[in-house]
Chains A and B, each alone.
Chain A
């Protein structure tokens, strides 16, 4: 299985500041035939199921604020919240679907 490793495990950011979450896969999740990265990002708030934010590493889902963005390719990916808002407090997960789907361990984002 492809192992997904996120860093850091948690971070505290001041309101309005940038939050950056990293995700590394144990092997490339870039499918060469279509040049797509098989990588998604989710947000999970307490007591709720995960919510899809980003697909194909950088495609924002409908309704997701544009302060949230995804980037990266191959084995290294980043989720960026450009200006942290109170409603962004959550745990964020990356997930690959290049092989049998696997998730990162999660990164908890809090307000400093």
Chain B
């Protein structure tokens, strides 16, 4: 069974940093592109980053470019999102999401339960 389990969320002050992790099981992470997608009640679902199966292709949404970094650890079968210079508008539920296609962000057949990030002073 495919499982994605996110962790690392929490409360942080504006300008602070967090590192989200996603542990994958039931499949080999190196065979799939992976994404982070976030959700808020106001803005809805927002794709924020993609990394290809090889790690050679990475994309970011403009809203996080230069502040967030996506990476993966093949040995640990895990995906990460390092979030720096956090803003209040980054408050959201962050999902780790498996991509169906190869080469670029496509559509998503497996989602974790999400980890909540709250940015507040």
Contacts and interface: CB of A to CB of B under 8 A. Distances in A.
Contacts of B95: 49
B106 interface: yes
A105 B44 CA distance: 6
A61 B113 contact: no
How large, as a class, is the contact surface on chain A?
Answer: 20 to 34
Interface residues of B, number: 20
A105 B112 CA distance: 20
Task: Name the prevailing secondary structure of the A interface residues.
Answer: loop
B27 to A, nearest CB: 15
Contacts of B59: 100
Interface string A33-76: 00000101010000011111001000001000000000000000
* Top 10 A-B residue pairs of the complex, sorted by shortest distance between their CB atoms: A49-B111, A40-B107, A103-B45, A101-B47, A97-B106, A52-B109, A101-B105, A105-B44, A55-B107, A97-B107
